[in-house]
Protein backbone atom coordinates (compact mmCIF):
# COMPACT_ATOMS: atom_id res chain seq x y z
CA UNK A 1 0.00 0.00 0.00
CA UNK A 2 1.53 3.30 -1.07
CA UNK A 3 1.57 6.47 1.02
CA UNK A 4 1.45 9.92 -0.61
CA UNK A 5 2.40 12.94 1.49
CA UNK A 6 0.47 16.14 0.69
CA UNK A 7 1.97 19.40 1.93
CA UNK A 8 -0.16 22.54 2.39
CA UNK A 9 -0.22 24.91 -0.59
CA UNK A 10 -0.28 28.72 -0.90
CA UNK A 11 -2.36 28.79 -4.07
CA UNK A 12 -3.31 26.92 -7.24
CA UNK A 13 -2.14 28.27 -10.62
CA UNK A 14 -1.85 26.86 -14.13
CA UNK A 15 -3.61 24.97 -16.89
CA UNK A 16 -4.22 21.26 -17.38
CA UNK A 17 -5.83 18.95 -19.93
CA UNK A 18 -7.52 16.08 -18.15
CA UNK A 19 -7.57 12.44 -19.27
CA UNK A 20 -10.62 11.31 -21.22
CA UNK A 21 -13.97 11.06 -19.47
CA UNK A 22 -14.36 7.70 -17.76
CA UNK A 23 -18.12 7.40 -18.39
CA UNK A 24 -17.80 8.17 -22.11
CA UNK A 25 -14.72 5.94 -22.52
CA UNK A 26 -16.64 2.95 -21.09
CA UNK A 27 -19.55 3.45 -23.46
CA UNK A 28 -17.44 4.06 -26.57
CA UNK A 29 -15.36 0.96 -25.78
CA UNK A 30 -18.41 -1.29 -25.43
CA UNK A 31 -20.30 0.01 -28.46
CA UNK A 32 -17.12 -0.13 -30.57
CA UNK A 33 -16.69 -3.76 -29.50
CA UNK A 34 -20.20 -4.60 -30.73
CA UNK A 35 -20.06 -2.46 -33.89
CA UNK A 36 -18.93 -3.29 -37.41
CA UNK A 37 -15.59 -1.80 -38.49
CA UNK A 38 -12.67 -0.19 -36.65
CA UNK A 39 -13.38 2.62 -34.19
CA UNK A 40 -10.55 5.09 -33.47
CA UNK A 41 -10.70 6.84 -30.08
CA UNK A 42 -8.36 9.68 -29.08
CA UNK A 43 -7.82 10.78 -25.45
CA UNK A 44 -9.34 7.56 -24.09
CA UNK A 45 -9.40 7.47 -20.27
CA UNK A 46 -6.11 6.46 -18.64
CA UNK A 47 -7.99 5.03 -15.62
CA UNK A 48 -8.00 1.32 -14.85
CA UNK A 49 -11.81 1.03 -14.99
CA UNK A 50 -12.38 1.77 -18.71
CA UNK A 51 -9.43 -0.51 -19.49
CA UNK A 52 -11.39 -3.28 -17.77
CA UNK A 53 -14.13 -2.61 -20.33
CA UNK A 54 -11.56 -2.82 -23.16
CA UNK A 55 -10.23 -6.14 -21.84
CA UNK A 56 -13.77 -7.55 -21.73
CA UNK A 57 -14.31 -6.50 -25.35
CA UNK A 58 -11.14 -8.38 -26.32
CA UNK A 59 -12.33 -11.47 -24.46
CA UNK A 60 -15.59 -11.26 -26.45
CA UNK A 61 -13.81 -11.21 -29.81
CA UNK A 62 -13.04 -7.54 -30.53
CA UNK A 63 -9.49 -6.56 -31.54
CA UNK A 64 -8.02 -3.74 -29.42
CA UNK A 65 -4.82 -1.92 -30.42
CA UNK A 66 -3.35 0.86 -28.26
CA UNK A 67 -1.10 3.43 -29.94
CA UNK A 68 0.11 6.32 -27.78
CA UNK A 69 -3.11 8.00 -26.62
CA UNK A 70 -5.20 6.44 -29.37
CA UNK A 71 -7.18 3.22 -29.08
CA UNK A 72 -8.35 1.27 -32.14
CA UNK A 73 -11.18 -1.22 -31.61
CA UNK A 74 -12.28 -3.55 -34.39
CA UNK A 75 -15.74 -4.76 -33.42
CA UNK A 76 -17.48 -8.12 -33.78
CA UNK A 77 -20.22 -6.77 -36.12
CA UNK A 78 -23.01 -7.71 -33.73
CA UNK A 79 -21.89 -11.22 -32.73
CA UNK A 80 -19.90 -11.67 -29.52
CA UNK A 81 -18.12 -14.99 -29.14
CA UNK A 82 -18.17 -17.33 -26.15
CA UNK A 83 -15.33 -16.09 -23.89
CA UNK A 84 -12.78 -18.69 -22.77
CA UNK A 85 -12.59 -17.30 -19.23
CA UNK A 86 -14.78 -15.24 -16.88
CA UNK A 87 -15.07 -11.57 -17.89
CA UNK A 88 -12.98 -9.67 -15.33
CA UNK A 89 -14.53 -6.26 -14.60
CA UNK A 90 -11.81 -5.34 -12.07
CA UNK A 91 -13.00 -2.54 -9.77
CA UNK A 92 -15.57 -1.26 -12.25
CA UNK A 93 -19.28 -1.28 -11.44
CA UNK A 94 -19.84 0.59 -14.72
CA UNK A 95 -18.26 -2.26 -16.68
CA UNK A 96 -20.22 -4.99 -14.93
CA UNK A 97 -23.66 -3.36 -15.03
CA UNK A 98 -23.52 -1.96 -18.56
CA UNK A 99 -21.78 -5.02 -20.02
CA UNK A 100 -24.54 -7.25 -18.65
CA UNK A 101 -27.06 -5.46 -20.87
CA UNK A 102 -24.75 -5.55 -23.89
CA UNK A 103 -24.05 -9.31 -23.77
CA UNK A 104 -27.39 -10.67 -22.49
CA UNK A 105 -28.91 -10.97 -26.02
CA UNK A 106 -26.02 -13.20 -27.23
CA UNK A 107 -26.44 -17.03 -27.21
CA UNK A 108 -23.58 -17.84 -24.82
CA UNK A 109 -23.01 -18.27 -21.10
CA UNK A 110 -21.01 -15.47 -19.51
CA UNK A 111 -19.56 -15.19 -16.00
CA UNK A 112 -18.71 -11.69 -14.77
CA UNK A 113 -16.23 -11.32 -11.91
CA UNK A 114 -14.41 -8.45 -10.21
CA UNK A 115 -12.19 -7.45 -7.32
CA UNK A 116 -13.30 -7.62 -3.68
CA UNK A 117 -14.98 -4.19 -3.62
CA UNK A 118 -16.93 -4.98 -6.80
CA UNK A 119 -18.19 -8.31 -5.46
CA UNK A 120 -20.03 -6.54 -2.61
CA UNK A 121 -21.77 -3.95 -4.82
CA UNK A 122 -25.50 -4.44 -5.56
CA UNK A 123 -26.35 -6.04 -8.92
CA UNK A 124 -30.02 -6.91 -8.40
CA UNK A 125 -30.87 -3.51 -9.92
CA UNK A 126 -29.84 -4.70 -13.39
CA UNK A 127 -30.95 -8.31 -12.97
CA UNK A 128 -34.58 -7.20 -12.60
CA UNK A 129 -35.08 -5.39 -15.93
CA UNK A 130 -32.87 -7.79 -17.92
CA UNK A 131 -34.79 -10.78 -16.51
CA UNK A 132 -38.06 -9.13 -17.57
CA UNK A 133 -36.62 -9.02 -21.11
CA UNK A 134 -35.99 -12.77 -20.96
CA UNK A 135 -32.35 -12.97 -19.83
CA UNK A 136 -31.37 -15.65 -17.33
CA UNK A 137 -29.14 -14.02 -14.72
CA UNK A 138 -27.79 -15.67 -11.58
CA UNK A 139 -26.28 -13.58 -8.79
CA UNK A 140 -24.31 -14.63 -5.75
CA UNK A 141 -26.36 -14.11 -2.62
CA UNK A 142 -29.52 -15.56 -4.14
CA UNK A 143 -31.67 -14.52 -7.08
CA UNK A 144 -34.20 -11.96 -6.01
CA UNK A 145 -32.09 -11.02 -2.98
CA UNK A 146 -31.71 -7.27 -2.61
CA UNK A 147 -28.05 -7.90 -1.89
CA UNK A 148 -27.47 -10.04 -4.99
CA UNK A 149 -23.92 -9.41 -6.24
CA UNK A 150 -21.06 -10.72 -8.38
CA UNK A 151 -19.89 -13.20 -9.49
CA UNK A 152 -22.77 -12.97 -11.98
CA UNK A 153 -23.67 -15.63 -14.53
CA UNK A 154 -25.69 -14.67 -17.62
CA UNK A 155 -27.21 -17.34 -19.85
CA UNK A 156 -27.74 -15.24 -22.96
CA UNK A 157 -30.35 -15.52 -25.69
CA UNK A 158 -33.04 -13.62 -27.60
CA UNK A 159 -34.61 -10.77 -25.60
CA UNK A 160 -38.01 -9.10 -25.86
CA UNK A 161 -38.61 -5.37 -25.45
CA UNK A 162 -40.08 -4.01 -22.19
CA UNK A 163 -41.43 -0.75 -20.76
CA UNK A 164 -39.34 -0.01 -17.68
CA UNK A 165 -39.57 2.62 -14.93
CA UNK A 166 -36.18 3.03 -13.27
CA UNK A 167 -36.69 2.68 -9.48
CA UNK A 168 -33.45 4.50 -8.60
CA UNK A 169 -31.62 7.24 -10.51
CA UNK A 170 -28.83 5.25 -12.19
CA UNK A 171 -27.20 5.93 -15.54
CA UNK A 172 -25.69 2.42 -15.37
CA UNK A 173 -29.09 0.72 -15.05
CA UNK A 174 -30.49 2.91 -17.82
CA UNK A 175 -27.54 1.99 -20.04
CA UNK A 176 -27.88 -1.75 -19.38
CA UNK A 177 -31.53 -1.59 -20.49
CA UNK A 178 -30.76 0.54 -23.57
CA UNK A 179 -27.88 -1.73 -24.63
CA UNK A 180 -30.13 -4.79 -24.29
CA UNK A 181 -33.03 -3.00 -25.99
CA UNK A 182 -30.80 -2.15 -28.96
CA UNK A 183 -30.59 -5.88 -29.70
CA UNK A 184 -34.06 -7.04 -28.51
CA UNK A 185 -37.26 -7.84 -30.41
CA UNK A 186 -39.56 -4.79 -30.42
CA UNK A 187 -39.10 -1.28 -29.05
CA UNK A 188 -37.87 -0.94 -25.46
CA UNK A 189 -38.92 2.13 -23.52
CA UNK A 190 -37.54 3.45 -20.26
CA UNK A 191 -38.76 6.22 -17.95
CA UNK A 192 -36.64 7.99 -15.34
CA UNK A 193 -38.11 10.38 -12.79
CA UNK A 194 -34.68 11.92 -12.14
CA UNK A 195 -32.73 12.68 -15.30
CA UNK A 196 -29.33 10.93 -15.19
CA UNK A 197 -26.27 11.59 -17.32
CA UNK A 198 -27.06 11.01 -21.00
CA UNK A 199 -23.68 9.82 -22.34
CA UNK A 200 -25.24 6.52 -23.46
CA UNK A 201 -27.87 8.28 -25.56
CA UNK A 202 -25.20 10.38 -27.32
CA UNK A 203 -22.89 7.38 -27.76
CA UNK A 204 -25.62 5.17 -29.25
CA UNK A 205 -26.55 7.90 -31.74
CA UNK A 206 -22.87 8.45 -32.61
CA UNK A 207 -22.58 4.75 -33.55
CA UNK A 208 -25.66 5.06 -35.76
CA UNK A 209 -28.49 3.86 -33.50
CA UNK A 210 -31.97 5.38 -33.52
CA UNK A 211 -33.12 6.55 -30.11
CA UNK A 212 -36.04 8.79 -29.15
CA UNK A 213 -36.78 10.87 -26.06
CA UNK A 214 -40.18 12.33 -25.17
CA UNK A 215 -40.14 14.04 -21.79
CA UNK A 216 -38.96 11.52 -19.20
CA UNK A 217 -39.35 8.57 -21.59
CA UNK A 218 -36.65 7.06 -23.80
CA UNK A 219 -37.37 4.47 -26.47
CA UNK A 220 -35.01 2.37 -28.58
CA UNK A 221 -36.07 0.05 -31.44
CA UNK A 222 -34.43 -3.39 -31.33
CA UNK A 223 -32.49 -5.22 -34.01
CA UNK A 224 -30.19 -2.27 -34.81
CA UNK A 225 -26.64 -2.54 -36.16
CA UNK A 226 -23.81 -0.19 -35.14
CA UNK A 227 -21.05 1.29 -37.32
CA UNK A 228 -17.54 2.26 -36.17
CA UNK A 229 -16.70 5.93 -35.50
CA UNK A 230 -13.73 8.25 -34.98
CA UNK A 231 -13.99 10.31 -31.82
CA UNK A 232 -12.05 12.30 -29.24
CA UNK A 233 -13.11 11.65 -25.65
CA UNK A 234 -13.67 14.93 -23.72
CA UNK A 235 -11.71 15.58 -20.53
CA UNK A 236 -13.26 13.99 -17.44
CA UNK A 237 -15.45 16.40 -15.44
CA UNK A 238 -15.51 14.11 -12.37
CA UNK A 239 -11.70 14.24 -12.35
CA UNK A 240 -11.87 18.03 -12.83
CA UNK A 241 -13.97 18.24 -9.64
CA UNK A 242 -10.87 17.79 -7.47
CA UNK A 243 -9.02 20.71 -9.10
CA UNK A 244 -12.14 22.90 -9.18
CA UNK A 245 -12.57 22.38 -5.43
CA UNK A 246 -8.85 23.00 -4.86
CA UNK A 247 -9.11 26.32 -6.75
CA UNK A 248 -11.91 27.39 -4.39
CA UNK A 249 -9.62 27.08 -1.37
CA UNK A 250 -7.33 30.00 -2.31
CA UNK A 251 -8.36 33.62 -2.99
CA UNK A 252 -5.75 34.21 -5.72
CA UNK A 253 -6.05 30.86 -7.51
CA UNK A 254 -6.28 30.78 -11.32
CA UNK A 255 -7.01 27.47 -13.02
CA UNK A 256 -7.59 26.73 -16.71
CA UNK A 257 -9.03 23.37 -17.76
CA UNK A 258 -8.71 22.57 -21.48
CA UNK A 259 -10.90 20.27 -23.62
CA UNK A 260 -13.24 19.53 -20.73
CA UNK A 261 -16.49 17.58 -21.11
CA UNK A 262 -19.35 20.00 -20.41
CA UNK A 263 -22.36 17.75 -20.88
CA UNK A 264 -25.42 19.58 -19.42
CA UNK A 265 -26.46 16.47 -17.43
CA UNK A 266 -23.09 16.68 -15.65
CA UNK A 267 -22.97 20.49 -15.35
CA UNK A 268 -24.61 20.47 -11.90
CA UNK A 269 -21.03 20.38 -10.59
CA UNK A 270 -20.24 23.71 -12.26
CA UNK A 271 -23.43 25.20 -10.77
CA UNK A 272 -22.35 24.07 -7.27
CA UNK A 273 -18.83 25.46 -7.76
CA UNK A 274 -20.42 28.81 -8.70
CA UNK A 275 -22.82 28.68 -5.72
CA UNK A 276 -19.86 28.08 -3.39
CA UNK A 277 -18.14 31.23 -4.67
CA UNK A 278 -16.21 30.06 -7.71
CA UNK A 279 -16.06 32.19 -10.84
CA UNK A 280 -16.22 30.09 -14.00
CA UNK A 281 -15.52 31.65 -17.37
CA UNK A 282 -16.19 29.53 -20.48
CA UNK A 283 -13.46 30.44 -22.97
CA UNK A 284 -14.74 28.27 -25.84
CA UNK A 285 -17.11 25.36 -26.43
CA UNK A 286 -17.66 22.91 -29.32
CA UNK A 287 -19.85 19.86 -29.93
CA UNK A 288 -18.51 16.42 -30.89
CA UNK A 289 -20.89 13.45 -31.29
CA UNK A 290 -23.46 15.23 -29.13
CA UNK A 291 -20.99 15.92 -26.31
CA UNK A 292 -19.96 19.50 -25.46
CA UNK A 293 -16.21 20.10 -25.05
CA UNK A 294 -14.96 23.42 -23.69
CA UNK A 295 -12.14 25.33 -22.03
CA UNK A 296 -12.93 26.99 -18.71
CA UNK A 297 -11.12 29.38 -16.39
CA UNK A 298 -11.81 29.14 -12.64
CA UNK A 299 -10.99 31.44 -9.75
CA UNK A 300 -12.80 32.60 -6.63
CA UNK A 301 -14.89 35.59 -5.66
CA UNK A 302 -13.55 37.79 -2.84
CA UNK A 303 -14.90 36.82 0.57
CA UNK A 304 -14.12 33.15 0.52
CA UNK A 305 -16.26 30.06 0.23
CA UNK A 306 -19.98 30.18 0.96
CA UNK A 307 -21.99 27.11 2.01
CA UNK A 308 -24.61 24.99 0.28
CA UNK A 309 -27.25 22.34 0.99
CA UNK A 310 -27.31 19.43 -1.47
CA UNK A 311 -30.28 17.05 -1.57
CA UNK A 312 -32.85 15.39 -3.84
CA UNK A 313 -32.09 15.17 -7.55
CA UNK A 314 -28.93 17.24 -7.09
CA UNK A 315 -27.41 14.53 -4.87
CA UNK A 316 -28.01 11.94 -7.62
CA UNK A 317 -26.43 14.19 -10.25
CA UNK A 318 -23.35 14.86 -8.08
CA UNK A 319 -22.94 11.37 -6.64
CA UNK A 320 -19.29 10.99 -7.77
CA UNK A 321 -18.31 14.53 -6.74
CA UNK A 322 -19.87 14.54 -3.24
CA UNK A 323 -16.77 13.17 -1.42
CA UNK A 324 -14.55 16.08 -2.50
CA UNK A 325 -17.32 18.63 -1.85
CA UNK A 326 -17.63 17.18 1.66
CA UNK A 327 -13.85 17.25 2.12
CA UNK A 328 -13.67 21.04 1.57
CA UNK A 329 -16.87 21.76 3.56
CA UNK A 330 -15.05 22.71 6.83
CA UNK A 331 -13.31 25.57 4.95
CA UNK A 332 -16.62 27.16 3.85
CA UNK A 333 -18.27 30.00 5.78
CA UNK A 334 -21.70 28.43 6.30
CA UNK A 335 -20.88 24.74 6.00
CA UNK A 336 -22.27 22.09 3.65
CA UNK A 337 -25.16 19.68 4.16
CA UNK A 338 -25.49 16.58 1.98
CA UNK A 339 -28.67 14.46 2.17
CA UNK A 340 -30.48 11.90 -0.05
CA UNK A 341 -27.08 10.40 -0.91
CA UNK A 342 -27.51 6.90 0.55
CA UNK A 343 -26.15 5.52 -2.74
CA UNK A 344 -22.70 6.64 -1.49
CA UNK A 345 -22.78 3.76 0.98
CA UNK A 346 -22.72 1.14 -1.83
CA UNK A 347 -20.01 2.64 -4.03
CA UNK A 348 -16.43 1.27 -4.12
CA UNK A 349 -16.57 1.76 -0.36
CA UNK A 350 -19.06 3.16 2.14
CA UNK A 351 -18.07 6.68 1.15
CA UNK A 352 -20.16 8.40 3.84
CA UNK A 353 -18.41 6.39 6.59
CA UNK A 354 -14.94 6.96 5.08
CA UNK A 355 -15.48 10.71 4.61
CA UNK A 356 -16.61 10.88 8.25
CA UNK A 357 -13.61 8.85 9.47
CA UNK A 358 -11.12 11.06 7.63
CA UNK A 359 -12.78 14.37 8.53
CA UNK A 360 -12.54 13.25 12.17
CA UNK A 361 -8.84 12.38 11.72
CA UNK A 362 -8.22 15.94 10.46
CA UNK A 363 -10.04 17.44 13.46
CA UNK A 364 -13.34 18.41 11.81
CA UNK A 365 -16.70 18.55 13.56
CA UNK A 366 -19.67 17.07 11.62
CA UNK A 367 -22.83 14.98 11.95
CA UNK A 368 -23.12 11.73 10.01
CA UNK A 369 -26.57 10.73 8.70
CA UNK A 370 -27.68 7.47 7.09
CA UNK A 371 -28.01 9.38 3.79
CA UNK A 372 -25.31 12.03 4.10
CA UNK A 373 -23.42 14.49 6.30
CA UNK A 374 -23.83 17.91 7.92
CA UNK A 375 -20.46 19.68 8.10
CA UNK A 376 -20.27 23.13 9.77
CA UNK A 377 -18.05 25.84 8.28
CA UNK A 378 -15.26 28.04 9.65
CA UNK A 379 -13.14 25.11 10.76
CA UNK A 380 -9.37 24.69 10.62
CA UNK A 381 -8.15 21.19 9.77
CA UNK A 382 -4.78 19.69 10.65
CA UNK A 383 -2.66 17.18 8.77
CA UNK A 384 -3.43 13.54 9.52
CA UNK A 385 -3.11 9.97 8.31
CA UNK A 386 -5.91 9.39 5.81
CA UNK A 387 -7.43 5.96 5.15
CA UNK A 388 -8.42 5.79 1.47
CA UNK A 389 -10.21 2.46 2.00
CA UNK A 390 -8.74 1.57 -1.44
CA UNK A 391 -11.28 4.03 -2.90
CA UNK A 392 -9.92 6.35 -5.59
CA UNK A 393 -12.32 9.22 -4.88
CA UNK A 394 -11.57 9.19 -1.13
CA UNK A 395 -7.80 9.26 -1.77
CA UNK A 396 -8.15 12.25 -4.11
CA UNK A 397 -10.80 14.12 -2.06
CA UNK A 398 -8.64 14.25 1.07
CA UNK A 399 -5.57 15.26 -0.94
CA UNK A 400 -7.56 18.43 -1.69
CA UNK A 401 -8.61 18.93 1.95
CA UNK A 402 -4.92 18.59 2.87
CA UNK A 403 -3.94 21.64 0.81
CA UNK A 404 -5.34 24.05 3.42
CA UNK A 405 -4.63 21.96 6.52
CA UNK A 406 -1.97 22.83 9.10
CA UNK A 407 0.90 20.39 8.64
CA UNK A 408 1.44 17.50 6.24
CA UNK A 409 -1.14 14.85 5.44
CA UNK A 410 -0.40 11.22 4.53
CA UNK A 411 -2.78 9.49 2.13
CA UNK A 412 -2.61 5.75 2.85
CA UNK A 413 -3.62 3.60 -0.13
CA UNK A 414 -2.87 6.46 -2.53
CA UNK A 415 -2.43 3.98 -5.40
CA UNK A 416 -6.25 3.70 -5.52
CA UNK A 417 -6.29 6.99 -7.50
CA UNK A 418 -5.10 5.01 -10.55
CA UNK A 419 -8.55 3.40 -10.82
CA UNK A 420 -9.80 6.60 -12.45
CA UNK A 421 -6.87 9.03 -12.67
CA UNK A 422 -3.28 7.65 -12.58
CA UNK A 423 -1.77 11.12 -13.19
CA UNK A 424 -3.66 12.79 -10.34
CA UNK A 425 -0.81 13.41 -7.89
CA UNK A 426 1.55 14.60 -10.65
CA UNK A 427 -1.05 17.07 -11.95
CA UNK A 428 -1.87 18.30 -8.44
CA UNK A 429 1.78 18.90 -7.65
CA UNK A 430 2.28 20.84 -10.90
CA UNK A 431 -0.62 23.21 -10.09
CA UNK A 432 0.12 23.82 -6.39
CA UNK A 433 2.38 26.71 -5.43
CA UNK A 434 3.98 26.32 -2.02
pLDDT tens by residue, 366-415: 999 999 999 999 999 999 999 999 999 999 999 999 999 999 999 999 99
Whether pLDDT at 206 is above 50: yes
CB-based contact 424:398 (threshold 8 Å): no
Read off the pLDDT of each residue in 83-101 and give the average, rounded to a whole number.
97
Contact 9, 243 (CB under 8 A): no
For residue 145, the model assigns a pLDDT of 43
Residue 320 is among the residues annotated as catalytic for this protein:
yes
Consecutive H or E run containing 414:
none
What is the helix (H) or strand (E) element at residue 149, kind and residue range? strand 149-155
Q: How far apart are CA 169 and CA 11, in angstroms?
A: 37
Residue 303: what pLDDT? 83
- pLDDT for residue 186 is more than 50: yes
- Tell me the residue length of the chain: 434
Phi, psi at residue 192, to the nearest 5°?
Answer: -130, 125
d(CA 50, CA 42): 14
What average pLDDT does range 299-314 have in this prediction? 92
pTM of the model: 0.91
Task: DSSP for 112-147, please give it.
Answer: EE--HHHHTS--HHHHHHHHHTT-EEEEET-TT-TT
Report percent pLDDT > 90 for the chain.
Answer: 90
The string of pLDDT tens digits covering residues 211-237 is 999 999 999 999 999 999 999 999 999
Q: How many CA atoms lie within 13 A of 291 on its CB side?
A: 31
**pLDDT for position 144:** 46
Q: Average pLDDT for residues 155-178, to the nearest whole number?
A: 95
Distance of CA 364 to the CA centre of its chain: 27
Q: 21 phi and psi, to 5 degrees?
A: -55, 130
User: What pLDDT score does 147 carry?
Assistant: 62
Catalytic residue among 21, 49, 88, 320: 320
Q: Which long-range contacts (CB under 8 A, 24 or more apart) does 268-271 make?
A: 268/314, 268/317, 268/318, 269/237, 269/238, 269/240, 269/241, 269/244, 269/318, 269/321, 270/244, 270/296
User: Residue 142 — pLDDT band, cuts 50, 70, 90?
Assistant: low
Give me the residues paired with residue 299 across strands: 279
The conformation of residue 226, written as its DSSP 8-state character, comes to: -
pLDDT bracket for residue 168 (50, 70, 90): confident
Assess whether the previous peptide bond of 381 is cis (omega < 30° from 0). Answer: no
What pLDDT shows up at residue 195?
A: 85
pLDDT at 156: 97
- When pLDDT is cut at 50, 70 and 90, the band that residue 104 belongs to is very high
Burial group, residue 25, by CB count within 10 angstroms (0-12, 13-18, 19+): buried
Amino acid sequence: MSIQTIRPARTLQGSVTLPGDKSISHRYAMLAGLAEGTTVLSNFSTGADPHSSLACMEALGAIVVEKDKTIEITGVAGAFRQPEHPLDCGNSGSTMRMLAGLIAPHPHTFTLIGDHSLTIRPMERIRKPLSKMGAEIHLTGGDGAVGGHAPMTIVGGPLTAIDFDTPIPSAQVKTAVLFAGLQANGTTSLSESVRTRDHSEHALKAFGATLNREGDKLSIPGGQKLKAIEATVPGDLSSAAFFLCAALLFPDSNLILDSLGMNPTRAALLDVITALGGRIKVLNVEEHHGELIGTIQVNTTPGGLKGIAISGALSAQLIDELPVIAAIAPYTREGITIRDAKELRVKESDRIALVAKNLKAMGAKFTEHEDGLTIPGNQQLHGAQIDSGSDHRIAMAFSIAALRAVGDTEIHGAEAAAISFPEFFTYLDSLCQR
